[in-house]
Structure 1
Amino acid sequence: MSIPRKRAAMRTFVMGPTDRTPGARAPVSRPVDRDHALLEALRQGEPTAAERLVTTYGDQAYRLAIRITGNRADAEEVVQDALWTVVRKIGAFRGESAFASWLYRIVANGACQKIRRRRTDISLDEFTAMLDDDGSREADWSARVEDPALQSELRKALTAAIAALPIDYRAVIVLRDVEGLSTREVADTLGLTIVNVKTRTHRARLFLRSRLGRFMAHEAA
């Protein structure tokens, strides 16, 4: 048997017979979404699909919305609108990202719009000035974080510090550090580049660290 025929025979043995044109690429299969069954139920308009959506993602969606808006009524409205949007526009989901990421994007965008409509968000210039000012106050208070006597007040201080972030930074830090999403998942959810997510995460962390440093310095005084 000639060398080319041997190679062809070996390829058939390893890969199985194929009728593809030589040089043609095999189709790339996407991983099955973990919410495949829920997706199919929504697409088919099954009577229990909306209820399953609420059961599966209602609490997570509310947690994300309340952490971004800081307002219970706004968060509830955001979640209701987001879940209804998912039900109505399920045909628009193309599977280019995970279903959960698509849903989180709808929730996060709705929550951000709520904040912007209030017109209470600080500008980027104001945030930069605050960051520069806070940077000079930073001190090492990490050893006191585990103090049980400070836990409740420290949690309140952290919540207030997150609420003080500009909305674009707040959404990133909530998804990245509170919800525990990866940088890639945050980028997919918010429609940002990975570089943008890393930059906003870094600056938000600096701001939060400085704000908590103020709190700890006050407690130590």
Structure 2
Amino acid sequence: MRGRDEAPPVTLRVGSVTAVETRKVDTDAALVEGLRRDDPEAPELLVETFGDRVYRLALRITGSNEDAEEAAQDALWTAARKIHTFKGESAFGSWLYRIAANAAYQKLRARKAKAHEVALDDVLPSLDGDGQHFEPMDDWSNRVDEQALQGEMRRVLTDAIDSLPPDYRTALVLHDVEGLSNPDIAESLAISLPAVKSRVHRSRLFVRKRLAEYMKSA
């Protein structure tokens, strides 16, 4: 039997998590309370509950499986170790995503991987004062069910998202993949609500433009 003072092993694999023991956590509050009282199962439950999501976010920011795995491990460990700094003024997930984003950005800066980024102003249509683009977007939605195109479109979509600058990519992934609300994203990334809306909107336009270009040539 493991003593209360002995930390349980935490194993994080690329794209998945393995917990030594599993126990359903009904609410984030229960998980936070378990971490605060040094429940020996709490770190495993943290990995089980948030490990995949933290890894996906780190992967989108860094573009590297190795860096994403290390950033996710660092973020989960930091969250467990510094749980006393979580004041409950925001959602626990938002607090954790902020730690994860910071860890991933540190990996990215250390690697100085900027060669794949693009300048949004060079590729996006011009926006008017209301944030709407002047140029009409092509309507290719009636073709997305063509089976031969679906696999290639997924590749184009992934490439388009990966081509976004990290701060735009992070906002888009948190909103459209992880399902966070704009206020939660603002809290996670320590940016204003208008900045979140702008990043998500412009990222979507960029991705849609890339897909439209592909559909024209398909």
TM-score category by the smaller chain?
A: 0.7 to 0.9
Task: Determine the C-alpha separation between the residues in 2 that align with 1:149 and 1:143.
Answer: 14
Q: Does 1:82 align with 2:75?
A: yes
Secondary structure at the aligned position of 2:119 is classed as helix
1:165 maps to what in 2? 164
2:34 maps to what in 1? 41
Tell me the alpha carbon deviations over residues 157-189 of structure 1, each in whole angstroms, 9 at most, x when there is no partner: 111001110111010011111212111121121
Task: Determine the C-alpha separation between the residues in 2 that align with 1:117 and 1:132.
Answer: 32
1:155 maps to what in 2? 154
1:186 maps to what in 2? 185
Task: Determine the C-alpha separation between the residues in 2 that align with 1:141 and 1:182.
Answer: 28
Q: Does 1:119 align with 2:112?
A: yes
Q: TM-score, normalised by structure 2?
A: 0.77
Q: Which has the higher helix share?
A: 1
Moved over 3 A (4+): 122-125, 135-138
Q: TM-score, normalised by structure 1?
A: 0.76
Tell me the alpha carbon deviations over residues 112-138 of structure 1, each in whole angstroms, 9 at most, x when there is no partner: 3323333333699932112249x8795
Q: Does 1:99 align with 2:98?
A: no
- The CA deviation at 1:38 is 1.3
Task: Determine the C-alpha separation between the residues in 1 that align with 2:208 and 2:51.
Answer: 31
Q: Which moved more, 1:185-194 or 1:166-175?
A: 185-194
Secondary structure at the aligned position of 1:50 is classed as helix
Matching residue's letter, 2:154: R
Tell me the alpha carbon deviations over residues 80-133 of structure 1, each in whole angstroms, 9 at most, x when there is no partner: 000110111111111110111111111122223323333333699932112249
Tell me the alpha carbon deviations over residues 39-86 of structure 1, each in whole angstroms, 9 at most, x when there is no partner: 111111122221111111112211222233222111110110001101
- Check conservation: 1:68, 1:170, Cα contact below 8 A: yes
RMSD of aligned C-alpha atoms?
2.4
Identity %, equivalent residues: 52
- Check conservation: 2:117, 2:163, Cα contact below 8 A: no
Structure exhibiting the larger radius of gyration computed from Cα positions: 1
Task: Determine the C-alpha separation between the residues in 1 that align with 2:191 and 2:215.
Answer: 34
1:144 maps to what in 2? 143
Give unmatched runs, 5+ long, in structure 2: 1-25, 127-132
